[in-house]
Amino acid sequence: MQYRETYAIVDLEKIKYNLDVLYKKTQKPMMAIIKANAYGHGYQQVAHAIKDNPHISMFGVATIKEAIDLRKQGIKQDILVLGAIPLEDIQLAIDYHISLTLFSLEYAKEIEDHYRGTTPVQVHIKLDTGMNRIGMKSEEEFNSFMESYNPHLFQVDGVFTHFATADDESQDDTFTKQYEQFRLMIDSYTFKYVHCQNSAGMMYHEDKVCNLSRVGIAMYGVDPAGQECEELKQAMSLYTKVAMVKRIKAGEKIGYGHTYQASQDEYIATVPIGYADGFIRANQGRHVFIRGSYYPIVGRVCMDQMMIRVDETIKTHDLVEIFGENISLATMARELNTIPYEITCLLSERVERFYK
């Protein structure tokens, strides 16, 4: 049963297609980044759709809860939690065979003081080469850990870093600096997994240091730099349906704050999508696509509904494309002065996802 006529369609075949395109480019196995509910696409469905893809060797998530949920759903592949987890949850990571990100000597010491188990904690070491987010920043800190860690306490499976500017051609020198710093820091050690490339790294830069790539936004068919992209197929589309069409007179005003006034007699459609669906108020003035034409969103976007200025051809129950075939996430992000990541991540649970 569909309780509300506002829904997203996620085409899992397109995700598989995008993975093939990306693999052809890098010829490296990939860690599929499915944090934040697979950027809003539904992480359990995405994980199951791609778990048997021969090029996916691992999943990357943000929280230990996401990792445990995947295990409970039968995902057997390695899972890395990319962010910090509470010390109380280290035992859970062991119980569910989940790898953690080890990002500072201080955190290593805290684990040592806190963890009482006998199975080593599986970690990938995060190096900070310029993001200035979590990660060991100095060679001294990294070398000090590598030269003195207790193998009964830590099993070091990987090392990685994250780029700040891989998507921005004008900042290529920063990218190169980070890449070189990473290469130099890890030069004298051997790891099972070495990874630094995100989607932008994979698409725009060559790499000879790593044996794994971390693919996020590109897997969902969106260009990491926010450009229109022919090479990949956008996996998600968002639709709603016209709930009501009414005729208003010239001079009448619409919605909260009466921010829109009809300049002539107009047809106004109300559709059931609003900011509680993650469709933010900044969308006022943008367009949606109905029956082959674009129509503007007029008046403020409400919590659960919004109004569109249409014409006499538009009727109750007509399908309204918010984004999809005719409005790309790249276009929408540009118009909203944001990035596609934010748009799909913000789609709330209330928006039902259907899978192809």
Ligand X SMILES: Cc1ncc(COP(=O)(O)O)c(C=O)c1O
Q: Which residues bind ligand X (CB under 6 A)?
A: 33, 82, 162, 198-200, 214-218, 224
Which residue in 35, 126, 137, 241 is the catalytic one? 35
Q: Indicate the residue among 79 and 297 with the shorter CB distance to ligand X.
A: 79
Burial 159-194 (b: 16+ CB within 10 A, else e): bbbbbebbbeeeeeebbeebbebbbebbeeeebebb
Backbone angles phi, psi at 201, to 5 degrees: -60, -45
Q: For residues 75 and 95, what is the distance between their CA atoms, to the nearest angstrom?
A: 14
In 13-26, which positions are buried (b, 16+ CB within 10 angstroms) versus exposed (e)?
ebbbebbeebbeeb
**With respect to ligand X, which residue has the nearer C-beta, 217 or 254?**
217
Quick one: 128 or 266, whose CB is closer to ligand X?
128
Shorter beta-carbon distance to ligand X: residue 153 or 209: 209
- Determine how β-strand 293-298 pairs with β-strand 287-290: antiparallel
Compute φ and ψ for 218, nearest 5 degrees.
-65, -30
Measured CA to CA, the distance from residue 233 to residue 1 in angstroms comes to 28
Give the bridge partners for 295, in sequence order.
Answer: 288
CB of 172 to ligand X, least distance (A): 17
- Report the residue closest to ligand X, judged by CB: 216
Q: Which of 57, 17, 33, 14 is nearest to 345 (CA)?
A: 33
- Compute the least distance from the CB of residue 200 to ligand X, in Å: 6
Catalytic-residue membership of 341: no
Q: Nearest approach, Cβ of 224 to ligand X (angstroms)?
A: 5
One-letter identity of residue 43 = Y
Active site residue 35: yes
Q: Among the options 253, 256, 294, 315, which is catalytic?
A: 256
Name the minimum Å distance from CB 164 to ligand X: 11
The answer for residues whose C-beta is within 8 angstroms of residue 188's C-beta and 6 or more apart is: none
Residue 119 has a CB neighbour count (10 Å cut-off) of: 14
Question: Of the two residues 167 and 277, which places its CB atom closer to ligand X in the complex?
Answer: 167
Minimum CB–partner distance for residue 308 and ligand X (Å): 32
Known catalytic residues?
35, 256
